[in-house]
Amino acid sequence: MTNPLSPIQDQLLRENFPQVADLRNQVHISYWSDYHLISQSLLDSLPFGQSLGPTTFYQYIDYQFDNLLIEPRRNLLFWSLSGANHFNQTPVTQTTLFFDETFFWHYYIPVQTREITETILQGNRIRFLS
């Protein structure tokens, strides 16, 4: 049983986390946690499902990496405000997200084979968030 949220908690959640992602609905992402909700802004900041060639990779590292440091902290606030607990009633403090291996090999790679091959033949690396 979860404790009902106070009106202040509810207001803070609505104002600061207007969109929440249910990881059970993310067919391309697997997760390791008892809890399945995260802030949509955290999910949006992770480039799952994108091959990161040199330009894209360095743009992400140089210009978007700060969000990757901020969004997990915001997500921890979301979990705290919402009273997210594991099955044993301890507070949720972490989760592991990764690109689903089946989706990767059976859906992503067949569609991207040409792009990946050309990139490798040009001497560039392919980076992919897993």
Q: Which residues pair with 128 in a beta bridge?
A: 51
Query: H or E segment at 70?
Result: helix 65-82
Q: How confident is the model at residue 6 (pLDDT cuts 50, 70, 90)?
A: confident
pTM for the complete prediction?
Answer: 0.79
pLDDT score for 2: 53
pLDDT in tens, 13-72: 999 999 999 999 998 899 988 899 999 999 999 988 887 888 888 888 898 888 888 999
Extract the tokens encoding 82.
């919402």
- Please state, in angstroms and as integers, the Cα–Cα distance from residue 105 to each residue in 7, 37, 41, following that order: 46, 26, 26
pLDDT in tens, 77-125: 999 999 999 889 899 999 999 888 888 888 888 998 998 899 899 998 8
